[in-house]
A and B are shown apart, each in its own frame.
Chain A
């Protein structure tokens, strides 16, 4: 389950994961983690594995250190203050080298683009020792007024109140000058100099840290509930991350549940579709119609009802979707439609039904595997407690029965991938590649069901037979991923 902890140990000099093991209330888990070096079910290591991904699981402090190092590189190379360096990095997705290059070439352009300085500085007319603050309209002495690089001066009390309101509303890195149409951003050090409430300073630093992590392409918060872990990876790829703390398993690129072989955009489309009951209505009211023959989507252009499908060249009538040959020369009016204006609707309805049928086919399988996955979770628990029983009764040791647990884990993993093959297939266009995909999917499905059957009867199944089945199922899974997972 959490073998990556071991691999983490080597790259990050962290001691936190050891204590995590101790806190783990699943006994088998602790056992499994510490004593099975040869078994590596959840985190692929070999670089020819399609799911292999190099990443680190970090604590907040580690990430703070990492971000500070990035800032420090920019500061020392360009001789600028950390507050400015942070603004520049944040404004450019933390592309350090790019920022350094721009800053060395044309610093003022970079500063204007990053909203650090204005295009034109405002010259406040100063007459006498005091001025009016344009926000509170109070007369204040010159030294009570503060401005950003843009020159718009406001009194300290207004700046303080303004920053307080912004932080309370969750705005941190996006606080701009109070003047009309001025886009210059409030830098961190300026904010700290005007902000009077210490608790808001803490809030600011927390919120801005969150913003930095979110904007950094190499970082991602673990999506697990209240989980403090942050993942760091060199490349923003749609690869599998397993959190060692909350056990969430998610995609590094988009942060939702891991979804190979389906890619990020497609899985989002699919999940939205599943959540959206109005999908059927969309088909009917759409401005487009499907070719009655090859079902390619066609948009009507111009007033003529004589349509020809761009793909299969079928000639048909827009109004009734019937064969055009039956229409004679009545180009602008359809008599079938005149007799029964519902005729097209009826066939549009028929198409909608077809589309719905297709969707339900994939959805049912998707749902079904999701349900089986939950049952397999229970099987895993059952097996664990039975192994414990056996060990207590001195019927073998943990090592003797480990293979049962491995089988249950592997089954879960294979079923999971299988579930996520259905959205992929749904959005695939009919072609030879889809045929190959569905062939491999069927193969995987058959082996997953075989494995499931054997795992349920694990204790009476021959160990060799079970391990053989595990091997076959995992090979099918890897073959499918190798052929269809973009990496």
Chain B
């Protein structure tokens, strides 16, 4: 059952900005990549995915998670775990890895905050959309090589770094507290 190797090859892939590579010489561990869709906070970012194919594939869904850190309501900012129906009960055997990657791209374009994986991100998405978009763009820039910088946020991050905090930890704390330096510092000190 190696039907997926037919699927994700050639020019089609280039057009959709998705691709799949093998990790070893087996088909059970794969690395996927999707490009963030234009006109979103993820625009131009390259997001790497870890894909594990179960023995029972395609009768059970592949196990997929983000390797590249990402700020998104349906993806854990800590583990990269994804909350997406087709990776769970809505999976159908006739689906392919291509379907999965395209669905993930669609998820980046349209989050579903009412079925969140990351509660902190989902809350920000619902209550403070502007900050959410800036944060997501900043993460895309830093972790996924996205082209858009968020100078305002970088300045605040610089301040936290100057206080001696680790850059990534400071970014997480700031992102989780709507870039309020005082609150972020407090959570960094108490954790």
> Interface residues, chain A, CB within 8 Å of chain B?
134-137, 152, 154, 158, 161-162, 165-166, 169, 176-182
Contacts and interface: CB of A to CB of B under 8 A. Distances in A.
18 contacts: A135-B58, A135-B93, A135-B94, A136-B3, A152-B94, A154-B93, A154-B94, A158-B93, A161-B59, A165-B59, A165-B60, A169-B60, A178-B59, A178-B92, A178-B94, A179-B94, A180-B92, A182-B92
A93 B6 CA distance: 44
B60 A180 contact: no
Contact of A180 (B1, B3, B99): B99
Contacts of A161: 59
A177 B91 CA distance: 11
Interface hub of A137, A152, A161 (most chain B Cβ within 10 A):
A137
B13 to A, nearest CB: 17
Interface string B69-104: 000000000000000000000101111000100000
Contact of A166 (B1, B6, B58, B59): B59
B26 interface: no
A162 B93 contact: yes
A176 B95 CA distance: 14
A136 B1 contact: yes
What is the size category of the interface that chain B forms with chain A? 10 to 19
A484 to B, nearest CB: 42
B18 to A, nearest CB: 17
A159 to B, nearest CB: 9
A182 B56 CA distance: 20
A207 to B, nearest CB: 17
Contacts of B6: 137
Nearest to B59: A165
A181 B3 contact: no
Contacts of B1: 136
A181 B85 CA distance: 11
B92 A179 contact: yes
Contacts of A152: 94
Contact of A181 (B59, B60, B92, B93): B92
A423 to B, nearest CB: 34
A300 B59 CA distance: 51
B93 A178 contact: yes
B97 to A, nearest CB: 12
A197 to B, nearest CB: 15
Contacts of A158: 93
Contacts of A176: 92
A125 to B, nearest CB: 15
Closest 3 CB pairs of A and B: A178-B93, A165-B59, A137-B3
Contacts of B58: 135
B3 A135 contact: yes
Nearest to B58: A135
Nearest to B4: A137
A169 B90 CA distance: 16
A358 to B, nearest CB: 33
Contacts of B93: 135, 154, 158, 162, 178
A113 B99 CA distance: 28
Interface string B40-61: 0000000000000000101110
Nearest to B3: A137
Contacts of B99: 180
Contacts of B90: 181
A169 B60 CA distance: 10
Contacts of A134: 94
Contacts of B60: 165, 169
Nearest to B1: A136
Contacts of B3: 135-137
Given A134-B94, A180-B95, A182-B92, 5 more contacts: A136-B1, A136-B3, A165-B60, A178-B94, A180-B92
Of listed B6, B58, B59, residue having the most chain A CB within 10 A: B59
Contacts of A135: 3, 58, 93-94
A165 B92 CA distance: 13
Contacts of B56: 165
Contacts of A165: 56, 59-60
A160 to B, nearest CB: 11
Nearest to A168: B56
Contacts of A182: 92
A81 to B, nearest CB: 26
Contacts of B92: 176-182
A162 B93 CA distance: 8
A169 B56 CA distance: 11
A267 to B, nearest CB: 31
Contacts of A178: 59, 92-94
A162 B60 CA distance: 9
A392 B56 CA distance: 66
A179 B6 CA distance: 18
A157 to B, nearest CB: 10
A158 B3 CA distance: 12
A169 B99 CA distance: 24
